Structure formats: C-alpha cells, structure tokens
Amino acid sequence: PILVLDFGSQYTQLIARKMRENGVYCEIVPYSEPLEAIKARAPKGLILSGGPASVYAKDAYYPDSGVFDLGIPMLGICYGMQLMTQHFGGSVVAASHHEYGKAELTLEGNHILFAETGCGQIVWMSHGDKVEHLPEGFEKIATSANSPYAAIAHEEKQFYAFQFHPEVYHTEQGSRLLKNFAKYICGCESTWNMGSFAKEKIEEIRAKVGSKKVLCGVSGGVDSSVVAALLAEAIGDQLVPVFVDNGLLRANERAQVEAAFKVRLGVELITVDASDIFLERLKGITEPEQKRKIIGETFIEVFEKEAKKHNGIEFLAQGTLYTDVIESVSVKGPSKTIKSHHNVGGLPEWMKFDLIEPLREIFKDEVRILGLELGLPKEMINRHPFPGPGLGIRIMGEVNREDLEILRKADVVMLEELRATGYYEKTWQAFTVLLNVKSVGVMGDNRTYDNTVCVRIVEATDGMTATFAHIPHDILENISRRIINEVDGINRVVYDISSKPPATIEWE
C-alpha cells in the first residue's frame, strides 16, 4: 500500500480516500508508528500528512527519523513538507502572511508529478509556516504568488513535497496529483477495488486465526454484518456470531436482526439477553463518557462470559471504522478525542481477546460497497448507522426503562413517517433523542408538564462531517403531531438544526 503518517490534520483521511478512489490501496497510521511496524507493511510510498503544529515548536510531532532512510518514495504535505525540510537541514519560519485559501500554481519545468494537469491550476493552501531555505539536493518544481516553494523535489531520493493540500476538494487537480505520485513515482497500478480489499482481508483473517475461533459481536448494523460476512467467508464455522441484547435497542430490533441473519446470511446468531446487567450499571450515571465506558466494558464482559462456553475462542471481531478510530484515539496521535466510540475507546485494559477489525481503515460508504461486493442484501446495507451504545446515548442524563420505552415509541413514529415519504433512503441518519427537558403544554383543557423529544436527521457521506437535513416542513409537522399524540409523556418536539462540526451527530 501507500502509507500515510498522520500528524493530526483534519484532512488526513481524505488523502487515503482519494488514493483508494484512484484504485491505489492506502492506509493511515499515527505519526508515531514504530519503524518496524512501518517496514512490516512494506509500503511502496509514504505520505507525511499536514498537522496543526509547527515543526520548530516544543510540542512538534516527529516521526521515527528512520522513515527518511527507508529508501522508498515520500510525499510531504504542508506540515509534512516542513518536516522534510527541517530534517534535511533547510529552514522553516513563521510566514509573515498566513496563507489560507485558493492559490494559483506556476509550474517550473515539466515535472511528472504534474502530468496531465496544467499551469495555473488552483490549489488550496492552509498554512502559517513556510519553507525559507531549501535543504541541499531539493529544488522547487512549482511556485505560487505567496509561496516560492509551493512544490519541491529531491529526485535522487524520490522525495517530494507540496505546501498546498492536494487532498481537499478545492484543489482542482488534487486527486490527479496524488495519483501521479502513486503511479509514476511509487509504481502503483490502479488495480485496487473493494473486491481486492475483500480478498486481502479474507486471507489476512485466515492467516491470523488459524484453527482458533472468533467471536463476532453483531448488532444488525451495516458494519458488524459486513464483518460477519467476511468472517463467514474466511473461516466458516470457526465464527461464533453473538448478538447482545443490552436493553438499549430499538423497538423489535432483536427479532429483526435474528431473522435477517438467519434468512439472508444463513447464520444462526447466539443471542445473549444482558439487559438487566447493562441497565443496572447505568443507574445514576449521567456523564456521557462514563456511560460510553460502562456500556463498552459490559459488552466485553458479556462477550468473555459467552466465549468461555465455546472452546478455542481467542479473537473478538468488531466493525470498527476509521471514523470511530479517529474520533476516539488521542493517545496515538495529535488529534483530540471527541468521544469514545464504544468499539475503540471503550475497550477495557483487562480484555483478553485479540482484536480483528477488518474495516478499521475504511469509511462507511466504502463498507457499503464492500457489503454489496460480499452479496449482502440492499436493505441490510442501506440501514442507517446505529451507535454501539444504542439508546443509552440518546437519553440525556440517567437511563431507565420508562424513558427507553418512551424513546422507542417516538423513534418508531419518526421512522414510519420518514420511510413513507422516501426520506429514509435520502438521509444518512435519523433518530430521536429524549432531552430530559420538561416544559408546559396544554392538551384538551389540561395543563401538561412533560418531556421533550428532539428529532435529529442528518445528511453525510462518511459521518466525519454532517449537515442537518432539510426535511419538508409538512413531514416534520406530521412527525411532531404523531409523536405528541401517540407517545405518552411527550408534549413537545423540536428539530435539531446543527451541523457537524461544531455539533456531533449523536447528542452524547
């Protein structure tokens, strides 16, 4: 693959995506990845991402300096360019003008990196530091009005760097520039697709598992279903698929998931009813991260208990996605923890399983393509995402059975209206949140003082960013009227009109 070392830029994941869209497999690892682990992946090229730090600051992030001696091609982007410059003895300083936004490139000569792109192409800059002096052996291959070193090259080492961000949408030819690096410099063919990804992962799983067994936590959602399908293909009946009823599921979910697996995948699920334990432990807990940790830990406990009933289970398979990883893991990289997605940040240290997470590097929309590739039915693939901690993070404050029932009823009504109007398919995610905010209403001739439900419907492509969905007002009106009429304990419905960022999709 092409390997991206992540220095914490918000755009890092886009580099990998653009590469994969070009048919070149690409993975992201934290900047601090040990040299041996990098070598073990046998990358054909390395990309150093952008990042929020300054290379000359005390808290700068440095990779193992051995990465510069691996003898493989390298592309530095923004911070990555400055790192490369500094490492080889050039100088980086604070720019007198910060440069954010569009810039026009002037090419110096005809470098192969710019093949099939033109002079005057628009690129996107976002930097406060700049390269002042080039290190020995480097030359400029493009300039812009504000950046005399917009792109640089060291031909002998096959080291290249861009001051601009080729991975963002506003860099017109960015995808082509990344492809040129992969194709002409690293010698990668554009042969990769989700089919080859499936084959690779199946081989990897077989090699890792050997004759042992794998417990796969299944939720009925897209991710874990795709993981289960991959495992079924890879190891057949060494797969032990377990569905945990944690008491935080939506209405009828358990029956639906059991049926879907049996009928569509021919896989018999082991269902464990652990709702009492989960709800008992959540009593009195109101802090969102604490709820997430408790739910995550209890899942593992239930899995370990179940595993003891079968011989030879050493692995736990989960549908962890790149989105879960990037938002949960701050220890490994300079990005901040936003929330502990339960299948990543919530894993307890005492866990004995080895993890199998075949979807760790890819995004939801890519998982859907993979699922279709594996022959999963469309209705399974197109289900909206549902978070591991379930309704537990959709009830603000303490979780209890009465509130769960109220929320389930509201959720059913909202989904019915959305499906009936075709908006379920048109949106990324739609759900209701119980706000734990009481307000005064009037029903018939009586005063009410009841709870509020928030309807949250968003559009997104990978869940990293999202906008609230512009649902026609008459549909919202129906949802609101029906929830208030049909769900006891609710006298007010509000619609969430925040986008991510700065909000997140879930409320906790």
96 is in an annotated binding site: no
Say which of 87, 127, 154, 165 is annotated catalytic.
165
The span from the CA of 311 to the CA of 212, in Å, is 9
The span from the CA of 115 to the CA of 178, in Å, is 11
Tokens (6 digits) for 399: 């979780």
Binding ligand XMP by CB under 6 A: which of 343, 451, 480, 491?
343
Residue 78 annotated to the active site: yes
Query: CA torsion, points 119, 124, 130, 131, in degrees to nearest 10?
Result: -40
CB of 345 to ligand XMP, least distance (A): 8
**Residue found by looking up tokens 């800059």 in the block:** 125
The span from the CA of 228 to the CA of 268, in Å, is 11
128 is in an annotated binding site: no
Binding ligand XMP by CB under 6 A: which of 1, 80, 334, 387?
387
CB of 306 to ligand XMP, least distance (A): 19
- DSSP state for residue 337 in the 8-state scheme: P
Cα–Cα distances in Å, from 106 out to 145, 168, 237, 359, 471?
Answer: 9, 19, 59, 40, 45
Residue 405 annotated to the active site: no
Binding mask 264-303 for ligand XMP (x = CB under 6 A): ----------------------------------------
Q: Which contacts (CB < 8 Å, 24+ apart) does range 345-348 have?
A: 345/292, 345/293, 345/296, 346/292, 346/293, 346/295, 346/296, 346/297, 346/299, 346/388, 347/296, 347/300, 348/296, 348/297, 348/300
**Residue found by looking up tokens 């910060």 in the block:** 98
220 is in an annotated binding site: yes
**Residue 389 contacts ligand XMP per CB under 6 A:** yes
223 is in an annotated binding site: yes
Q: How many residues bind ligand XMP (CB under 6 A)?
A: 17
CB of 281 to ligand XMP, least distance (A): 16
Stretch that binds ligand XMP, among 65-73, 165-173, 383-391, 434-442 (CB under 6 A): 383-391
Residues in a beta bridge with 91:
133
CB of 495 to ligand XMP, least distance (A): 17
Binding ligand XMP by CB under 6 A: which of 26, 153, 257, 505?
505
CB of 491 to ligand XMP, least distance (A): 27
Binding mask 432-471 for ligand XMP (x = CB under 6 A): -------------------------------x--------
224 is in an annotated binding site: yes
Residues in a beta bridge with 313:
213
Name the residue nearer to ligand XMP (CB basis): 24 or 505. 505
Name the residue nearer to ligand XMP (CB basis): 341 or 368. 341
3-state secondary structure 44-68: CEEEECCCCCCCCCCCCCCCCHHHH
The span from the CA of 97 to the CA of 376, in Å, is 53
**Residue 342 contacts ligand XMP per CB under 6 A:** yes
225 is in an annotated binding site: yes
Name the residue nearer to ligand XMP (CB basis): 184 or 423. 423
Stretch that binds ligand XMP, among 128-136, 387-395, 415-423, 485-493 (CB under 6 A): 387-395
What phi and psi, each to the nearest 5 degrees, are found at residue 286? -120, -20
The strand pair at 151-154 and 213-217 is best described as unpaired
Query: Which residues make up the interface to ligand XMP (CB under 6 A)?
Result: 323-324, 327, 339, 341-343, 385, 387-389, 429, 463, 500, 504-506
* Catalytic residue numbers, as ranges: 78, 165, 167
Annotated binding site for ATP: 219-225
